[in-house]
Structure 1
């Protein structure tokens, strides 16, 4: 059975305008596109065969079936930053082609005109890091969040640890309903934000 050629296609922050031309080329040229519903909803403009995944096991089964000559696995943001690339390489196929996507960190830093070459980049999305320690160590830090560690929850933790500074929250980045909040850590701690946000801390 001939193996399928696997492409992992980065979609960037979400809207079509921020999908790279190279990614669009592969979105239209592979035999089938696969991904979870949220990511698939963002490529309604693509006229190609699509399979919505219900679980990660569905992805493994489809990729190993040999049914398609080429498979495009779509991934939001940067596919190589806590994305699906690591899982695919370790569990499905080590020989993959990754098409880059603009990360939400890149997008938000530009919207804020905030250089981030010296910033710490972390994720509390489905995982835990030494959040307080990292914020203390770095003047600027960028964070992916989730429904447990929301922007307000993380800022409450900072406030309780007497850490002051600015906090920026990017919600629905690149979409028409995009909201970017610029406030103090204490103010964000009192707010309510989407669990699919990006949080930036600029410590005093």
Structure 2
């Protein structure tokens, strides 16, 4: 029976990938992942399937190889269990066939760079969904957001201004762990006027919750 190994690739730079992840990738004959992750690895001797976000295609490739008794590796950004591919794959594959190797999430990395604890943070995602920011900030002193190009940090900051939440503190991390990493802090009006961010996470702090 084929084994499916979901490997958390961490925030981006391979320096943050643990040895066990490299070992798992080495043992697998089939590797599925985004072009960014695939380009970082020496996998010339493997059957490689690039993906662009089409998770149905991932399942199709896995099922195609299931009867061949080969190990299959799925490369996942950050940690597979934090708004990652693991949730989707568990809906279509048997849990007994799956092994998960956790990774350092970009959010975990972000809080380390900010040098603040994150045990009390509320984490959510703006990928293809709407979130009631005012309600969240009323109940949580820190919220962390996975953003995308549609719901960018700039747009979210403008929404905070519209909601009258101009005194909350924002920290945006872009291209985390890469040489072109950028981390900026400011208030909503300041962040709203900045250039577009790529591959970003966002932390909003409201210590007073006074609204």
Given the two structures, how large is their TM-score scaled by the length of structure 1? 0.91
Quote how far apart the aligned CAs of 1:161 are. 1.2
Structure 1 residues 114 and 45, CA gap change in structure 2 (3 angstroms): farther
Q: Deviations over 1:16-41 (max 9, x none)?
A: 10112211111111112111323323
Quote how far apart the aligned CAs of 1:146 are. 1.0
Counterpart among 24, 27, 32 of residue 26 in structure 1: 24
- Who is 1:57 aligned against? 56
Quote how far apart the aligned CAs of 1:92 are. 2.8
Quote how far apart the aligned CAs of 1:58 are. 2.6
Contact 1:105 1:198 in 2 (8 A): yes
- In the aligned structure 2, how far is the partner of 1:73 from the partner of 1:120? 27
Counterpart among 99, 102, 106 of residue 101 in structure 2: 99
Task: Provide structure 2 residue ranges, at least 5 long, that are not aligned to the other structure.
Answer: none
Secondary structure of 1:62's match? helix
Q: For this pair of structures, how many residues does the alignment match?
A: 201
Q: RMSD value over aligned CA atoms? A: 1.7
Structure 1 residues 57 and 77, CA gap change in structure 2 (3 angstroms): same
Given the two structures, how large is their TM-score scaled by the length of structure 2? 0.88
Contact 1:28 1:47 in 2 (8 A): no
Task: Provide structure 1 residue ranges, at least 5 long, that are not aligned to the other structure.
Answer: none
Structure 1 residues 136 and 39, CA gap change in structure 2 (3 angstroms): farther
